[in-house]
Each structure stands twice: as structure tokens, then as C-alpha cells.
Amino acid sequence: MLSTNADSDIIPATKPHFITLDGLRGVAALMVLCYHIFEAFATSHIDQRVNHGYLAVDFFFLLSGFVMAHAYDNKGTSMSTWAFIKRRIIRLHPMVVMGALIGAIFFYTQGCSFWEVSKISILSLLVATLLNVFLIPVTPGAEIRGVGEMFPLNGPSWSLFFEYVGNLLYIFILRKLSTKALAIVVFIAAAGLVTYAIKGPDGDVAVGFSLTGIGFLGGSLRLLFSFSAGLLLARVFKPIKIKGAFWYCSILLIILLGMPRIGDASTLWLNGIYDSICCLLLFPALVYLGACDVVSSKTMQQVNKFLGDLSYPLYTVHYPFIYLYFAWVKNNKLTFEDSFPGAAALFIGSIILALICLKFYDIPVRRYLTKKTAA
């Protein structure tokens, strides 16, 4: 979400950099990868083994809001609205394009009974690719995979779409609000999110990837609460010195995102309560503790930097291979144990691909665009 490490480079050099938050982004991105791998063996949210990985998006939105407010909320920056927008596009969009292109390249290798790709024309694929490249969502029934995703070539692009929405809300509206007014926004959004989580159709907040009425509403509530809560947390942030926060924050984050489903089909509301507690209380606490962490060890600084650098490209490029893995599992009726070598290859290969994209594509392209727009 957001997303991932897409915000670490917006902090001016004169301000402290929260390196532990970068590391936690990476941990959350790795948990998203695990969550998506286990989608191939689930019939619904209820029986998925790594069950709450979808909450990583809410964690990403919260991080994004916190870091953005830290960078821009006080009067220490004179960056114009257009300069801000250009900078965000340069930071986010190269990997959006890469994810869409990878999804298009591998599309015809992903056929299975859940989606028939062989009947999709090249023209339809090209149109879908262009829509994904420009982050233009499509409605269910108008997308080429047939499972209702806004972005059928690279499903996680939906959260990047909302990340852009959050950025625009920030620069035009949210940064201009007083702390009290922002707190009111957070409170209203929290009430809406909790109501959706508990009373919604699935008893969770695993929503936003589909451009249906309820899907868009749920995704909007996720963004508005978590992003605004991150902004508010940054405004009221009073740091204390903590050592070793990365380790226990990471362990807790892994537990929260990997937690089995709470309740069953007859008690959906129980899981809604769990999601609400994570979003409203536990994730803000993790961000606060991570921001207070004092990292003096060069080794830990390198670990956090590595995870932070990995997080955004990993999030944006892994999912086309999840489609491929899903199709392989379904076509061959494999259990997780049967497919473990493929799952391990997917996990490791996604990390390697993300690092390759980072070094040879994302960083050079962003550097080039930055120079061009500064000229």
C-alpha cells in the first residue's frame, strides 16, 4: 500500500528517517506474498491458512499517511502541489507499469477452470494492459479474467489506485485540516470501517479490489481511515527511545497477518471485530513503536534498508506469478505439500525478480525522470 516502501524517499534530509518502519514494510510485503500463495488452496476467506494477509494493505496505508505527514505537514517544506504530484508519480508509477507488463506477458500461460484466458483476443489484452498501466479500473464483467478485479493483469494494483487517491486527498484537503478536524475525519472513518467489518457481507475488510458498489465503498473506508489515522498519528507523535522494536514489532505483525480466521460462517462478525482491533489499535501501536526504535547497529540498519527497498517492487511484481501458480495447482489438483517446491520457487523467485527490477529498472527510471522534471 501502499503502499510498501513507496514513501521512504519523500522525507527531506533535514528530518529523521524511520528506518524500522521501512523494515516493517518489507515484513508485511513478504506476508502478502505468503497470503497470496495460500489463496490457491482456499475456497473462501474462511478456510485460508495464512488468513489475514489482506490487512497488510491497511498497514501500508497507515504507514503512508504517517510518513507523508512527517515529511510535509509542518511548514518546513515549500513544495508546490504540482511538484508533489510529479514526485509521487515518479515514485509510484514506474513499478505500476512494470507490474502491468509482466501481467500481460504471462497472461496466456495462466489458463485454468477458474478463468479461461485462451479465448481472450490480443486486442482485449492490449486494452487491459493500457488500462492497468494508467491505473484506470474496470468494472466486473468488463475485465478479461472474469473474477471481478479492477486490474485483472495484476490484482494488487487496486491498492495503488487507492494510494493515488489518498495522495490527492492529502495534498488538496487533508493537509489543510486542523488536527481537531482531522481527528473527526478519522473518527467518522473508523466508525464506517468497523461497521463494514462487522456488518459487511464477509465479516472482514478484504475488499477494495473490485469496482462494485460495496467493493469500492469498503476500499474507500480502508483508505480513508488508515491513511488519515497515519496523518493524525504523525501530528501527535511524541517519540520515546526504544531499542529492538524491529524484532518484536515484526513478530507481532507476522502473527497478526498470519492469524487463522476468527469464527466461522455463522459468526462472521467475530472476525470483523478482529480486523477492527488490528486496524484501529494494533497497527497504530506498531507504527508508533517502530518510529520510536533506535537502530544503532549497522547490521540492523542494513537489514531494515534491504527490507524497505524490497517491499514496493515485491508487492508490485509478484502477483502475475500467483495467477500462474494458482492455475498450476488447480490444473493438477495439487495439495500445498505437493506444490511446495513450486511455492518455494515462487517465493524466492519473486524476491529475486523484485530486486532485479529495483536495481535495473525502478531506480534508474526514477533517477532519469527526476532529472528530466528538474531541468
Residue 9 scores a pLDDT above 80: no
Local confidence band at 306 (pLDDT 50, 70, 90 cut-offs): very high
Residue 2 scores a pLDDT above 50: no
Burial category of 62 from C-beta neighbours within 10 Å (exposed 0-12, middle 13-18, buried 19 and up): buried
HEC states along the chain?
CCCCCCCHHHCCCCCCCCHHHHHHHHHHHHHHHHHHHHHHHCCCCCCCCCCCHHHHHHHHHHHHHHHHHHHHCCCCCCCCHHHHHHHHHHHHHHHHHHHHHHHHHCHHHCCECCECCCCCCHHHHHHHHHHHHCCCCCCCCCCCCCCCCCCCCCCCHHHHHHHHHHHHHHHHCHHHCCHHHHHHHHHHHHHHHHHHHHHCCCCCCCCCCCCCHHHHHHHHHHHHHHHHHHHHHHHHCCCCCECCHHHHHHHHHHHHHHCCCCCCCCCHHHHHHHHHHHHHHHHHHHHHHHHHECCCCHHHHHHHHHHHHHHHHHHHHCHHHHHHHHHHHHHHCCCHHHHHHHHHHHHHHHHHHHHHHHHHHHHHHHHHHHHHHHC
Give 35-75 pLDDT, tens digit per residue. 999 999 999 989 999 999 999 999 999 999 999 999 888 64
Q: What is the mean pLDDT of the chain?
A: 94
The predicted structure's pLDDT at residue 17? 85
pTM, two decimal places: 0.95
Mean pLDDT (whole number) for 85-94:
97
First and final C-alpha spacing in the chain: 30
> Would you say the C-alpha torsion 330, 334, 336, 339 has a positive or negative sign?
negative
The predicted structure's pLDDT at residue 79? 75
Local confidence band at 15 (pLDDT 50, 70, 90 cut-offs): low
The predicted structure's pLDDT at residue 80? 87
The predicted structure's pLDDT at residue 327? 98
Mean pLDDT (whole number) for 318-339:
98
Residue 76 scores a pLDDT above 50: no
Give 121-170 pLDDT, tens digit per residue. 999 999 999 999 999 999 998 999 999 999 999 999 999 999 999 999 99
Where in the chain are the domains?
8-374
Give 154-210 pLDDT, tens digit per residue. 999 999 999 999 999 999 999 999 999 999 999 999 999 999 999 999 999 999 999
Share of residues in the chain with pLDDT > 90 (%): 91
Local confidence band at 12 (pLDDT 50, 70, 90 cut-offs): low
Residue 77 scores a pLDDT above 90: no
The predicted structure's pLDDT at residue 10? 56
The predicted structure's pLDDT at residue 3? 40
Residues 6+ apart with CB under 8 A from 256: 52, 55, 278, 282
The predicted structure's pLDDT at residue 287? 98
The predicted structure's pLDDT at residue 11? 53
Mean pLDDT (whole number) for 342-348:
98
Q: What does residue 242 show for φ and ψ, rounded to 5 degrees?
A: -130, 140
Local confidence band at 16 (pLDDT 50, 70, 90 cut-offs): confident
Q: Comparing 89 with 72, which gets the higher pLDDT? A: 89
